[in-house]
Chain A
Amino acid sequence: MFIPGQIIALLTFPGVIVHESAHQLFCRFCRVAIFDVCYLRFENPVGYVIHEPPSKPFHHLLIGIGPFFLNSVVGLLIAFPAVIPVLRFDSGNLLDYFLIWLGVSISMHAFPSTGDAKSILEAIQKKDVPFWLKLVGTPLVGFIYLGAIGSVMWLDLAYGIGIVGVLPNLLVKLLA
């Protein structure tokens, strides 16, 4: 089923906001000047951060993939207390369902956009970039593109549900 990105963004808007905030946060860590931030809009792209080119290629990579880590961790943490009542015992209250929606929305926007991938690719293709960074960055860019293609088949949603649903259940299995 094809649903336009803008509608998905509307339904999962907290994820877009956290995604752009993550880019912004990593810009701050890497001391990269930010010129403009759009946390949410109903155009393509649904959000963006315009920043100066980082001084180090590694910073470029960090800013690009920052949302992948931040959205995943924040989404997981938010949904964590609600997963067992909702997914295991179907006994969640309204707050639990809200947390699940919030968690899935945030973690499904963990994948960097193709714009992020393009920007990382440009940065690591430069001559002065160390070999190890090219080695790490190139498959990462491929992975990001794969994620972007997969999002047509709801890979982003599957990832969001996976992050939110699988890990707490694994924890329960480990502790039992």
Chain B
Amino acid sequence: MEEMSLCKACGQPFEERGYQFPLCEKCRTILANRPLPKIVKAAFLCVLIILILSFTKFPDSLKAGIAFEKGRMAEDMGHFEIAALQYKKVVEYFPNSDLALARLGIAQYKSGKFPEATRIFSLLSGRSISKELTEEINLLFKDQEKSMTELNTKILESKIALDSIESQLEVLKTSILQSESEIKNLSLKIDKIEADKNEGLEVDISNYNQLINRHNSLVELHNKRLKYGDLLYGQYLERVKEVDSLIGIYNSFIIEK
């Protein structure tokens, strides 16, 4: 027969075994289920409500976080346009995030969208962004200055080349016009000799042959000059295009500044 003990809480005899402290089943259950104070319960309830509310916006935060991560990966792989697209998504969710704006600006700059990058960087001016980001953006500006100097040199070189082609074309144009008028004169002389010959008049055949030979060699030279002129003009157009694009890039830098 089990030895009966008295419950320390209610004083009733009990048989519950395994515990060191003498308590009956009922008292132990009551003491183990001691309720939380009302104030603690109320605080837990408040936190739960706040938590539910904040979880409603969590999907957007998560999407932004994922887009940012994808942007970073694209940037690491050198896909700056994709990175800019991802950072744009982040900025839609967090328009005041310095980090998202700075990364968007950097990605746009590196993908060659200078005016867009400038707009983004201007939003950041006056804000206290991290040292690393500031250094990264400043490095871009330093690179830009270097690029502008290089561009300037290229533009000047191209302009010199363009001037040289222009003067060559001018010289060629003069010689073409000269040979054209010479050919015309020779043609007239040859036509006259042939007309005299057809009317039965006596003509100087050796002179006629000389004129024909001179005419033919002049036509040949004229054709060569025309061909060279075409070639030079092609080169000229290419150079003009190059200078235009260089000036375009240079101007975009200036607008950016």
Contacts and interface: CB of A to CB of B under 8 A. Distances in A.
Contacts of B19: 52-53, 55
A27 B55 contact: no
Contacts of A98: 50
Contacts of A81: 51, 54-55, 57-58, 61
Interface in B85-123: 90, 94, 96-100
Interface stretch (A31-39, A65-73, A110-118, A159-167): A31-39
Q: Does more than half of chain A's interface fall in helix, strand or loop, or is it mixed? A: helix
Given A81-B54, A175-B62, A34 B99 contact: no
B51 A78 contact: yes
A3 interface: no
Interface string A121-154: 0000000000000000000000000000000000
Contact of B98 (A28, A90, A102): A90
Taking residues whose C-beta sits less than 8 angstroms from the other chain, chain A's interface range is 35 or more
A84 B69 contact: no
A155 interface: no
A176 B62 CA distance: 10
Interface of A: 14, 17, 21, 24, 27-28, 30-35, 37, 39, 52-53, 55-56, 77-78, 80-82, 84-85, 88-91, 95-96, 98-99, 102, 168-169, 171-173, 175-176
Interface of B: 18-21, 23, 27-29, 31-34, 36-37, 40, 43, 47, 50-51, 53-55, 57-58, 61-62, 64-66, 68-70, 73, 90, 94, 96-100
